[in-house]
């Protein structure tokens, strides 16, 4: 299976290599020199690291809440078939067509205190910069998740709604008793993608805030980038990266367990 080899070479081997490099000191030139646990010790003692981990988790959680609520509601709404809904859904989708870089640049310009829509230095305050990153990420990815929920909502059998209506359940009752439970697999799929995806806010951070003000938006991937490709301390960068893999793996194992995603079941089961 050449596919497994290819994937192994470019994704799995580097992961092992990252772990190895975390025990060395390497400036990007020459050969890595083993230094034992020095990088890991530095990692544990680094205050920025604690702040960064907290920021990463907070950013993921806040983005998840923001995007899930809006995407779920929009998706369920758009699942109905109506002319104006189709047109609106097409417009909603447009932000997703721009690359993260383009979107970050767009908001970089629009949030510019001299030029922008809001004549205030939002990116200069730490909570403002944080919320800007949450908002920009949502602006880009909500269309995609809306689409996922729209697909999920269309697969809910209408018989359920008819039965509920006969039993006298109102619209909100139907939403909470039928739509939400029926969408639980869609919610987990979308959540997995959001959790992994929130790590790609790297571009947004790099362009919008450069981790600032100070280090107030320096999420883990950004910290790793700075340590490696700005300070040329690749050993330390690898320690941060290994830590990141650890966090991501634990998260994904929990999610796979919770969803039974790995059970090789038919996707049509239970429909």
Partner 1 sequence: MSHDTLPRPRPRPVKAGKSPAGPPPAGRARRHWTKRANPVAGLGSLLWLVVVIIPIYAMISASLTGQDKALTGNPLSPPTDPTLDNYNTVLHSGFGHLLANTVIVAVAVVGIVLALCVPLAYVAVRTRDRWSGMAFRLFLLGVAIPAQAVVVPLYLLIAKLDLYDSLLAVILPTAAFAMPVSVLVLVGTLRDVSEELYEAMALDGASPQRMLFQLAVPMAKGGISTVVIYAALQAWNGFLFPLIFTQSDEPRVLTLGLFNYVSQFGVNIPALLASVVLSGVPIFAVYLVARRALVGGLMGVGGK
> Where in 133-152 is the site for partner 1 (CB under 8 A)?
139, 142, 144-145, 147-152
- 81 touches partner 1 by CB under 8 A: yes
Binding segment toward partner 1, per CB under 8 A, in 33-41, 42-50, 125-133, 248-256:
248-256
Q: Please, which of residues 226-245 interact with partner 1 by CB under 8 A?
A: 228-229, 234, 237-238, 241-242, 244-245
Q: Which of 105, 210, 213, 216 binds partner 1 (CB under 8 A)?
A: 105
**What spatial distance separates the first Cα and last Cα of the chain, rounded to whole Å?**
33
- Residue 258: Cβ-neighbour burial (10 angstroms; 0-12, 13-18, 19+): exposed
Residue 186 CB neighbours (<10 A):
20
Task: Closer to partner 1 by CB, 35 or 256: give it.
Answer: 256
CB of 45 or CB of 158, closer to partner 1: 158
Sites for partner 1 among residues 187-206 (CB under 8 A):
189-190, 192-193, 196, 199-200, 202-203
Which residue stretch of 35-43, 114-122, 124-132, 209-217 sits at the interface with partner 1 (rule: CB under 8 A)? 114-122
Phi, psi of 112 (to 5 degrees): -60, 130
The CA dihedral of 48, 53, 58, 64, to the nearest 10 degrees, is 140
| Residue closer to partner 1, measured from CB, 129 or 244 | 244
Which DSSP category does 119 fall into? -
Residue 110 in contact with partner 1, rule: CB under 8 A: yes
**Does residue 82 belong to the site contacting partner 1 (CB under 8 A)?**
yes
Measured from the CB of residue 105, what is the shortest distance to partner 1 in angstroms? 5
Q: How far is the CB of 215 from partner 1 (least distance, A)?
A: 17
Report how many residues bind partner 1 under the rule CB under 8 A: 113
**Residue in 7, 18, 64, 49 with CA at minimum distance from that of residue 255:** 64
Of 29-68, binders to partner 1 (CB under 8 A) are none
3 state DSSP class of 34: strand
Instruction: Give residue for tokens 């758009």.
Output: 78
Residue 17 binds partner 1, judged by CB under 8 A? yes
- Tell me the C-alpha distance between 180 and 171, whole Å: 12
Angle (CA) 92 218 201, round 5°: 25
């Amino acid at each position: 299976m050449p596919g497994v080899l290819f994937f192994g070479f470019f994704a799995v081997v580097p992961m092992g290599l990252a772990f190895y490099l975390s025990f060395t000191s390497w400036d990007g030139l020459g050969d890595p020199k083993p230094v034992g646990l020095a990088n890991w010790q530095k990692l544990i003692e680094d205050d920025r690291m604690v702040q960064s981990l907290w920021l990463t988790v907070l950013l993921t959680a806040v983005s998840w809440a923001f995007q899930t609520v809006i995407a779920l509601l929009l998706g369920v709404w758009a699942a109905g078939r109506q002319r104006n809904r189709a047109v609106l859904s097409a417009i909603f989708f447009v932000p997703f067509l721009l690359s993260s870089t383009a979107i970050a640049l767009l908001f970089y310009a629009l949030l510019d205190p001299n030029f922008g829509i809001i004549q205030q230095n939002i990116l200069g305050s730490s909570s403002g910069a944080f919320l800007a990153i949450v908002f920009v990420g949502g602006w880009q990815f909500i269309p995609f998740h809306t689409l996922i929920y729209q697909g999920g909502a269309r697969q809910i059998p209408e018989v359920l709604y008819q039965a509920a209506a006969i039993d006298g359940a109102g619209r909100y009752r139907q939403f909470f008793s039928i739509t939400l439970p029926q969408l639980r697999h869609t919610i987990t799929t979308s959540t997995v993608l959001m959790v992994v995806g929130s790590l790609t806010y790297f571009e947004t951070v790099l362009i919008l805030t450069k981790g600032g003000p100070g280090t107030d938006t320096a999420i883990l991937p950004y910290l790793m980038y700075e340590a490696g490709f700005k300070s040329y301390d690749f050993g330390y960068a690898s320690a941060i990266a290994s830590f990141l893999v650890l966090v991501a793996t634990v998260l994904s194992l929990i999610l796979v367990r919770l969803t039974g995603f790995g059970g090789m079941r038919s996707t049509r089961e239970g429909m």
